[in-house]
Chain A
């Protein structure tokens, strides 16, 4: 272990009780840190049907041929990892660290290990995570998929993921987080760092399918270089205990772009605090943050923060919330911060119920009140995302479809 790593451990130790800026504080001691190892499964078809089903709900298709690679981590064990396309790497992050000495330079660069107690936790208790990389100029034909699965009840899962899109490459990833059918509570802490090199493009679609009592604290950040594109789609539409995440993107190269879309549904008892923050640090950088939130009784805080640091940048923030129950709360907090006179920042936020006028419009065309409501809700959750491969669009549509049934 190099000095650099020892320093990081030391920093993490100092921050191990450092409260996070947002979200209910979680007592890390409430969760069990140890569990048995699961065996490696070479053949994806040997996964139990219930596992496959849970993962499928999070967009991870173990039967699918339309994937360029698959990584599955169950609790603290990497149980499967395979890549099928040249130029695409997918592996256990610990193996990657052994293989690539240079990976240490990326570790903790975008997400500081001492950011809060959760990043410290991930540093000190890290059990695997994935490493995904597209080599220079390589373009993924099909998306790569990664699944972080909690099978054991009341376990703490702490992972560190690193994704690198090398120069001129194009990488599409879908990650699903899911819990086994017996999980009632648990903690997931995931540090994810994304590095997008000159002219590269990364689309990252993440579908969360947790259980009612699960606490989730992802910590992620992205650094985008010249002309790079980062497109993040995040969906959390199934019950969760408490979820707080505020990913950041740093647009450091000229013409870099970051787009965040999130779709959030809070059922009764769910507490969701999700945002996106983008620093526009170079000329002609561009960003858009869009969120759609629906509550059927839970609480959602939808944050967004755009920081324009140089002239000639453009960014937009859009928060829309639909309250379907009087028990639910949606709190939209859009923030725009301009540091130069020549910045173009805008936002649009609206929170409320479904407009009666819209329901009546559809009813006049023959739909019943229930059908009209469902059509409007489906439309609300439907966001056109430019540049998303059809396989991922299909997974997102599927996830919306599943959630709809429980919504209405």
Chain B
């Protein structure tokens, strides 16, 4: 579904991603790990098509179309949706109106909002005075209305209190068609085979994996993807031994992390 080949991305004249390859098939959910400033967000933003993230080499194919230089809104129309980490506030544009934009007007805004316990935000200005957790719910609600085939989620659990994290996990599960046991008469295997949605999730803490299963994990360090594998195994290693182990394991120079730390500061 999404195929990233030898991708190089520059931000403000500095190359952040170097020769990244990534392949995500229909029905798959992938998780992206990496220390701060490693280029995870850059990969998501470049995939969505933000002009500040300039693609200087390689290509991105989505549904077999070359979207490397396609404008943002056309990528959205093709079925890519992104949850923003820090979305801007837009005064005078109501949450309700944004959901109508996302859903092209033919979605039941009220009931969707209700499912995320977000009813009372519908007539508020978009993101105006929203807390961290409210931002996350607002973003997921927009994605729910947009209903994209491919989801890019940037740390969906950050800033969310424990009470809401399960709710958020459930919604993401639903967006990715990974709910368990809801479809009568169909075996899990069948459901899995029929699954159309796919996604790429950045997680820093890994908490979201307590509520959601992922198929593959990747580690990005200093702009290079250096590891692919089982996401839970990766998370366990990172939790216990930190990214130093990834650096060692991937045979990278150990100065990479400290150098990157300095740059990201």
Minimum CB distance partner of A372 in chain B: B73
Question: Complex: how many Å from CA A361 to CA B102?
Answer: 11
Quick check: is A355 within 8 A (CB to CB) of the other chain? yes
The answer to whether B92 and A383 have CB atoms under 8 Å apart is: yes
Q: Which residues on the A side are within 8 Å of B97 (C-beta)? A: 375
Minimum CB distance partner of A357 in chain B: B88
Quick check: is B201 within 8 A (CB to CB) of the other chain? no
A365, A378, A382, A383 pick with most chain B CB within 10 angstroms: A365
Question: Complex: how many Å from CA A275 to CA B82?
Answer: 42
Query: How many residues does chain A have at the interface if contact means C-beta atoms less than 8 Å apart?
Result: 22
Question: Complex: how many Å from CA A383 to CA B97?
Answer: 15
Question: Complex: how many Å from CA A381 to CA B92?
Answer: 7
Q: Which residues on the B side are within 8 Å of A360 (C-beta)? A: 50-51, 72
Contacts A365-B146, A367-B101, A375-B101 given; indicate if A380 touches B91 (C-beta within 8 A). yes
Q: Which of B72, B87, B90 contacts A363 (CB 8 A)?
A: B72
Chain B, range 205-234, C-beta contacts under 8 Å to A:
none
Q: Which of A361, A375, A381 contacts B87 (CB 8 A)?
A: A361
The answer to whether B104 and A364 have CB atoms under 8 Å apart is: no
Minimum CB distance partner of B82 in chain A: A364
Chain B, range 56-114, C-beta contacts under 8 Å to A:
71-73, 76-77, 81-82, 84, 87-88, 90-93, 97-98, 101-102, 104
Quick check: is B142 within 8 A (CB to CB) of the other chain? yes
Q: Which of A357, A363, A378 contacts B92 (CB 8 A)?
A: A378
Q: Is the interface of A mostly helix, strand, loop or mixed?
A: helix
Minimum CB distance partner of B93 in chain A: A379
Q: Which residues on the A side are within 8 Å of B87 (C-beta)? A: 361
Q: Which residues on the B side are within 8 Å of A383 (C-beta)? A: 92
Quick check: is A369 within 8 A (CB to CB) of the other chain? yes
Contacts A360-B51, A361-B84 given; indicate if A367 touches B73 (C-beta within 8 A). yes
Q: Which residues on the A side are within 8 Å of B17 (C-beta)? A: none
Q: How many whole Å from A313's CB to the nearest CB in chain B? A: 25
Quick check: is A376 within 8 A (CB to CB) of the other chain? yes
Q: Which residues on the B side are within 8 Å of A372 (C-beta)? A: 73
Measured CB to CB, the residues of B under 8 A from A are 48, 50-51, 71-73, 76-77, 81-82, 84, 87-88, 90-93, 97-98, 101-102, 104, 125, 142, 146
5 residue pairs, one from A and one from B, having the closest CB atoms: A379-B92, A379-B93, A382-B92, A363-B72, A366-B76
Given A366-B146, A369-B71, list of 14 further CB < 8 A pairs? A360-B51, A364-B76, A364-B84, A365-B76, A366-B77, A366-B104, A367-B73, A367-B101, A372-B73, A375-B90, A375-B101, A376-B90, A378-B92, A379-B90
